[in-house]
Amino acid sequence: MGVRTRTSYLDEHNYTAFISKIEPKSIDEAESDEYWMIAMQEELNQFTRNDIWELVARPNDHPIIGTKWVFKNKLNDQGEIIRNKARLVAKGYNQVEGIDFDETFAPVARLEAIRLLLAYSCIKNFKLFQMDVKSAFLNGFINEEVYV
């Protein structure tokens, strides 16, 4: 267990003063909290930075996929809230296979492949690094037009 100094204690509490402790269940709850509004704006800024969407007139001949905000408090290893995270997700569960899409695919490594990589790295004395890609799913490409 580490020693907590007065400065680190103050820094931690100054930081958490700008985080909402409440996890909203609806957009109405989130809109009444300025910290969740900031989290929502950060998500929309990611879409803009990655050139994800463009505003167009509503088409009559294409189905529209609804969206939903999902709100989560991110915790550190001590279980303390460190960040408010808002995600705008498509309601893909309303889509019908063969009409709205033909196939689905999510590139995920199988557990056996990860175990093999770890074992081989141990044998060869490789150094492995882990990383996380922020907004990784925004980096995929699709061939058809999708309207949300």
Contact of 36 with 81, CB cutoff 8 Å: no
Give 101's pLDDT tier (boundaries 50, 70, 90): low
Tell me the pLDDT band of 9, cut-offs 50, 70 and 90.
very low
Determine which helix (DSSP H) or strand (DSSP E) holds 13, and give its type and residue range: helix 6-16
Residue 137 to residues 27, 35, 42, 50: CA-CA distances in angstroms?
A: 23, 24, 16, 11
- The reported pTM is 0.62
The rounded mean pLDDT for the chain is 79
Residue by residue, DSSP assigns 27-40 as HHHHHT-HHHHHHH
pLDDT tens column, 29-71: 999 889 899 999 999 998 888 888 888 898 888 888 889 999 9
